[in-house]
Each structure stands twice: as structure tokens, then as C-alpha cells.
Chain A
Amino acid sequence: METVIRTAGLQKSFRSRVKNPGLKASVRTLLRPQWKETEAVSNLGLEVERGDMLALIGPNGAGKSTTIKMLTGILYPDSGEIDVLGLNPHTDRKRLAYKIGTVFGQKSQLWFHLPPADTFNLLGTIYGIPRREAEKRIAYLSEAFEITDFMDVPTRKLSLGQRIRCEIAAGLIHEPEILFLDEPSIGLDVVAKKRLRELIRRINEDSGVTVFLTSHDAGDIESLGRRAVVIDEGRTVWEGTVKDLKYSLLNTRIIDVKFAEPGPCVPAMEGVTVLKEREWSLKLEVNLDSIDTASVINTITGSHPVADITVAATPLEDIIARIYNGELKGGAL
């Protein structure tokens, strides 16, 4: 496999002026400003293979956007190496721009008062695509993205879900090899999110575009990322496949029990924690290292009449929250 994105020792910090509350402090700041260095990204190393789909996960302010912006040539890193498609994003910004597509969920590249079709044509010119080719490409994309119906509606009248589909289509006009998506699902409702995820997956699978996306939405990662890198405070805290993240990293299951009759207590078991206990229901967390799910279920059904049982893996969101809290260390680190 060919590596298309590689970074090593990537470093970027921001300087901001410290301003304490109070008038006296204001005066002091004016006379002698104090600066605070904040490390947005620190010693970050990444590798992405062609055709892969990588999700960069982290809470707000973790350095996700900063990373994506360094990879796309928007920000200069303080130090470290970046190689995207064999190019340095800063010295070869223009050449790289032809090969990558970028979509920022929070910053629109569509002209607000004009229909998407106009922006698409303009982008075609900016990327120097011959007219006939651009027309073909736009026709193809508008069909694939199911945006044909509102190609001629001013962007300001589109719903957020429709707009973001147009944004991604706009990012693909010049047939990039890598698509960077920064928080694509931000602000979308559940239905629109689902649709967007299917779309992104299809782009990746059908046309082989490498997808690099950031998100703080666990659902995005669960359904999109084949590989995930979790970062916090600019550092990698975990990396691996999403499957690992979900099934093997955390050896726990959640068991929900509904009783047929008001409940007694359940015998204590090694490796089982009671999360919630009510008269008619029970919620347990099972640690698979000490006990297997089947024997826990057997014990419960044996001791009391049960109406319903569900077993689930721990939600990804919880896992990620635990990673952030430093409760877990991934195998890759």
C-alpha cells in the first residue's frame, strides 16, 4: 500500500495575550503584554494509506482542525515534517491544491446569495478545468450527491444538510486524490447525518478517494472511520482500527435486564458492576476478563423470572470519553 499522508514530530503552538480581569490588569496588559503559549499540536505523527478512511477524533480544542489545516497548507507548522502525496504542503501549496479537496463544516465556500451551480462553475475556472470537462463533472456530482433539484436555488435558502452535500460536491470538482473533511456533520440532525455518512462512505468506496476526517461525534467514527486516531491536547492518545476501539479495547459488555416480577437482589459476582438497580430492572457492566456474558445471564435467569434481556458493547462515546480522561491507554501507544 502507498502512504499518502505522513507526518512526524509535528508541532504547532499559538501565542495569545493573557488578560486578567480588572482595570488595573488592563492597564498593565497595555503597558507590558503577557503572552501565553498554547500547544495546539505537539509531536504528532500520522500515516494514512491510499484509499483509506481515517477519522481524527478529539474533544473541542484538541488540535484536530489545526492538524487538518497544516496538512492542507493553510497553517505553517512550527516544526516537524509533513508529506502529503509526496509534496510539502507549504512549499508546494499550489500543486497540492489540485490534488486535495477540502471541506470545512464551519466555513462555507459556497457564495451565500448565489445558487451552488454558479459556485461550481467558478470553482471549475479556479482549478483550471476545461469547460466541457467541468460541465460533465458537475452533472455527475450533482446526480451522485442528489443535489440536482436545488442546484439553482440560492445557497442561503438551502437546509444545512443540503448545503453540506453541496460543499462536499464542491470539494470534489477537481477530482482530488484526498478529501479532507473538518467536522462535516456539525449541526446536522440525525437523518441528515445518516445520509451524509452514507454519502462519504460511497465516495470512498466507489472512487477510491482517501478520506481524512475530523469529528467529535462518536457516530461519525462508528459508521465512517476504518481507522481512528484519538488526540487530546495536541497529542495522540490512541490509534488503531475502529473495530479494535469498540470491541477489544474495552472488554466490557452492558447487560440490561427487565424482570417479570418486582425484583429481589441479584447475587454478587466477580467482574460484574451494578450500574443501576430498580424494582423492575437492572443494568450491569460485565468485565470479560473475569467472567463471560453467558454465565452472568445464566445466574440472573436462574435466580429470578426475567422478561427481557439486552446485551450491548459499551457505547463508543463512553469509550472515547474514557480515553480523554486518561483512563485507558491504547495498545498502539
Chain B
Amino acid sequence: MSLSRSPSLALMGLGIRNQWAYLKTFILRNLFLIVILYVFASLWKKVYADRFEIAGFDLCRMVWYLVVTEAVIFGKSELWPTVQREVKDGTVAYGLVRPLPYPRIVMMRFLGEGALRLLPVIILGSLTARLTAGGFPSGVAGMASGLLLSAGALVLMAQMEMLVGLAAFVMEDVTPLYWILQKIIFIFGGLYFPLDLYPARFAAVLKVLPFAHVAHWPGTVTVMNGALFLRAAGGQVFWGVVLGLIILTVYRGSIRRIEVQGG
């Protein structure tokens, strides 16, 4: 009885209860993840029926690669609709009176949610892969680098979605923009398959782009047991800084426009 009067426990209880409502949505989304992984595992099984290796990946690695890349996409919440809405209704301008710049506030919230949701997604994904294609193909090094790079991928994703959302300053509806970003990551970022499946020259170009650092690099490094970790992490840091600067420039420029309009 005395325990339940503790203010911090009460707060925690409230937090959990607040999440309770989302639990159902959460379970269903993860159910969908399992379906997708199952479909892809079936697809790869058929592809691998008459061969052992494709571009250095065997069946087991291929499926686990997908677990890593899908984890980020399924684990994250969507940031751009919030930004789009708040750009349209002018909430962005209120951000000016807060001590932190608006983009950072929104992205921090997004990363917090993402971190919380990543774990169950990874567990469910791993179970599905284990059942369809076999055990984890790497060791501790692969696992550790996978977690680190997934976190980095989450940050890059937040930044790219922020830019999509900020486009609402000049566009009526940014939804099509997000579709395209999403599909670029799916196909040219390596979400569905490692970029090594493309012809070598083309793959080399794609691997340098920010999209590859959201999917291809975390996936490959994880299933190749940490090989090329520094290359991947360095790329993430580089793109993180570049995207951060772009966001800052775009945000400052757009906010000035609000002020000019007398908002």
C-alpha cells in the first residue's frame, strides 16, 4: 500500500497506463512485420533452392539481413506527419520560445519512441528468422555493431523525415515525397536486399549515399560479424552532420519566412 503512494512509482504507473492504449496497435504492427518477414523468407527460400550463395550472402544471412533492416523501419514511429501538421498550423513558430530548437525537440521524442520500440521488433524478427532460415549467422561482434548501427540508422531516418516534413513550408501535401523517400530506401538503400546484388559500379555509388546508411550498412555489417564496422559508422557520422546542417539551414530560412509574414 505504501509503495503505491510513492510519487515516482505513481508516475511510472501512469506512463505504463498511457502506453496501454497503444499496446494493441503495437501488437498488430508487429504481426504485420512477421507476415512481411515470412513472405520474404519464403521468397528467398525459393530463390536459393538451386544455389548456395548470392553476392556473398547465403540464405541464412539474407534473411537475417532483412531482420536488421526491417527492424529500423518497423521500429520507428513516423515523424514527418507531425512536422507537416505543425508547420501547417503554426506550432513550429511556438518552438521559437522554447530553449531547444524545434527540430531537435521533435527528433528527440522520435528517437525515444524508436528506442523503446526497437527491442520487441528485434526479438520478434529474430524469432521469425530463426524459424524460417536458421540461427543468427554472426557472433557478439555482429550483434553489437548491429545495435549501434541501427541506432545510427534511426537518427538518419529522423533527419530525413524531418526534411520531408519541413517541405510542408513550400508544398501543399508532402505525403508523396515520403512515399518516394521510403521506396528509395527500400530499393536503393538496400532495405529489401543488399546493394551487392546490383552491378558492381552501380552498387559502389549507392553505397556512398545516405540511404545506404539506413539499411544496407547496418544489415551487412551485422550478418558479416562486424566486418567494415568503422566504414559504416564513419559514413553514418558524416551523413548525420551533413543532414543536420541542411536541416538547420532549411529550418532557419523557413522560420524567417514566418516572421516576415507576420506570423
Contacts and interface: CB of A to CB of B under 8 A. Distances in A.
Chain B's interface size range is under 10
A178 B13 CA distance: 54
A26 interface: yes
Contacts of B48: none
A21 to B, nearest CB: 9
Nearest to B12: A23
A26 B17 CA distance: 8
A22 B18 CA distance: 11
DSSP majority for the B interface? helix
Interface string B29-49: 000000000000000000000
DSSP majority for the A interface? helix
Contacts, number: 7
Interface string B13-24: 100110010000
B13 to A, nearest CB: 5
Interface residues of A, number: 3
Interface string A9-40: 00000000000001100100000000000000
A23 B23 CA distance: 14
Contacts of B20: 23, 26
A22 B17 CA distance: 8
A22 B16 CA distance: 11
A326 to B, nearest CB: 39
Interface in B120-162: none
Residue from B13, B16, B17 with most neighbouring chain A CB atoms (10 Å): B17
B182 to A, nearest CB: 28
A211 to B, nearest CB: 39
Nearest to B10: A23
Nearest to A27: B20
A289 B72 CA distance: 80
B28 to A, nearest CB: 15
A23 B17 CA distance: 6
Nearest to A21: B17
A23 to B, nearest CB: 5
A43 to B, nearest CB: 37
Contacts of A22: 17
A18 to B, nearest CB: 16
Contacts of A26: 17, 20
A23 B14 CA distance: 8
7 contacts: A22-B17, A23-B13, A23-B16, A23-B17, A23-B20, A26-B17, A26-B20
Interface of A: 22-23, 26
Interface of B: 13, 16-17, 20
3 A-B pairs with least C-beta separation? A23-B13, A23-B17, A26-B20
